[in-house]
Each structure stands twice: as C-alpha cells, then as structure tokens.
Amino acid sequence: MMSLEKYMPAWVKRIGLVTVFLLFAAGIVFWGGFNWALEETNKEEFCISCHEMKENVFKEYQNTVHYTNRTGVRATCPDCHVPKEWGPKMVRKIQASNEVFHKILGTIDTPEKFNAKRAQLAQNEWNRMKANDSKECRNCHRYDYMDYTEQGNRAAKQHPQAFVEGKTCIDCHKGIAHQLPAIDQHIGARNEGAASISHGEKPAEKSAEEKK
C-alpha cells in the first residue's frame, strides 16, 4: 500500500482513493444520464408529444416520402431538424429553450395560430439549412455519390446544374416534408402579396443578362 501511495498525485492522497473511484463512477452516471436525456428529447415520440407538432407538421409529414416509403428507411423529426455533431447539436438544443417558452405561452397552440406563423417558422428553418449548406439533408443525401443515371430525367438534368451553380438542397427542395406557407405564384388574386419563394441565387452571368 505504501508503494502505491508513492505514485498517487497529491490531490488523490488528500481526498482518498475510494472517493476518487466514487467520483469517477458518479461522472459516468451523470454523463450517461445527460446523454440519455438528450437522446430522449431527440426522438419522434418526444416531438409529437406536443400537440402543436402532432396536429400540424406531423400530419403533413405523414404524406411524404420521409415518413413512409418503399424500403422503410425513414428520416424522422430530429434527423432533419437537429444537427448530428455534438457542438451544433448543443447549440440547437439551447435554442430550443425558446420553443419551450413559446409552448408555455401557447403561441401556436391551434392550427389557426400555427398557420398564421407558418411563413415565419418555415423561413427560420430555411435560413438555418441555407446557413449550414443543408447539412442535415446531406447526412444521407451526398451529392458526390449521386448516380444521375438512376435518377429521373428531370432530376438528372437539374442536379448537376444546381451543384455547379453552388446551390444547396433547401434552395429547391422547400416544402418536401411539410406544407408551404402562402406563396405568391401569380395565380389570380390568390396569395397576392405573400412572399415569393426563393430558388437560390441565380448565377451572376445570368442575372446580368436579364438586366439587359
């Protein structure tokens, strides 16, 4: 025992070997618990435990390819809306406290209220995905590995073109999992004055041509 004490740092001697082991075990338990709680709040079931999500966006998502498809490989809420990497994930989780705050306030607790806010909420997500180059899409859809011969005519034509122009997924693929807010599409008086949807910036030469 005396020989072991020779190798122990001073602080271990001060608090004792047993305490050190107990602290170590407690660390594992607390970190595991933290991670467990984090993962619990990162599940589809957790997201739709709020009726705001279940009655609006989840219902819309159920009609889309990310909910049900040929092979049953799914992208659930956190796959698109929470970053996978630890750092950005923590940032997003802390930002989510604002969402908890508005849940308590009942900001979007009816479909009418939700739809009134839809444009703003959608724009938030579009901005986030635009800023991180559609990182969450690219966790699965990597364009370096896309086989254009397997894609439909239209996709095979548009994808290489868009990537050359430096566009990101969300530039074109808006409203693929949820319904879009009102967009002015020049059809009668419908949605006149509503936001027009952005399809990403046009390449510089083309916009210069248009000015002529």
Partner 1 sequence: MRFIPALALAAAVLLSGAGVVSAQENLESLRGKAPINQEVRTDNMFRPEKDQDIIPRNFQKQPPLIPHSIKGYNITQNFNKCMDCHSKERAEETGATLVAKSHYLDREDKKHTNISPRRYFCMQCHVPQFDAKPLVENTYKPAAK
List residues near partner 1 by CB under 8 A.
63-65, 118, 152-154, 157-158, 175-176, 179-183, 185-191, 194, 197, 199, 202
Q: Helical H runs in 62-139?
A: 77-81, 86-105, 111-131, 135-138
Q: Which of 200, 173, 195 is nearest to 120 (CA)?
A: 195
Amino acid present at 51: H
Hunting for tokens 């219902």 — which residue is that? Answer: 59
Task: CB nearer to partner 1: give 109 or 165.
Answer: 165
Task: CB nearer to partner 1: give 66 or 93.
Answer: 66
First to last CA, the chain: 88
User: Contact 205/182 with Cβ under 8 angstroms?
Assistant: no
CA atoms lying within 13 Å on the CB side of residue 40:
6
CB of 206 to partner 1, least distance (A): 9
Task: CB nearer to partner 1: give 26 or 65.
Answer: 65
CB of 161 to partner 1, least distance (A): 9
CB of 169 to partner 1, least distance (A): 15
Task: CB nearer to partner 1: give 139 or 179.
Answer: 179
CB of 98 to partner 1, least distance (A): 25
**Separation of alpha carbons 212 and 196, rounded Å:** 23
Task: CB nearer to partner 1: give 71 or 97.
Answer: 71
Task: CB nearer to partner 1: give 6 or 186.
Answer: 186
CB of 57 to partner 1, least distance (A): 14
Per-residue tokens: 180: 């879009």
CB of 198 to partner 1, least distance (A): 12
**Separation of alpha carbons 176 and 170, rounded Å:** 9
User: Contact 102/52 with Cβ under 8 angstroms?
Assistant: no
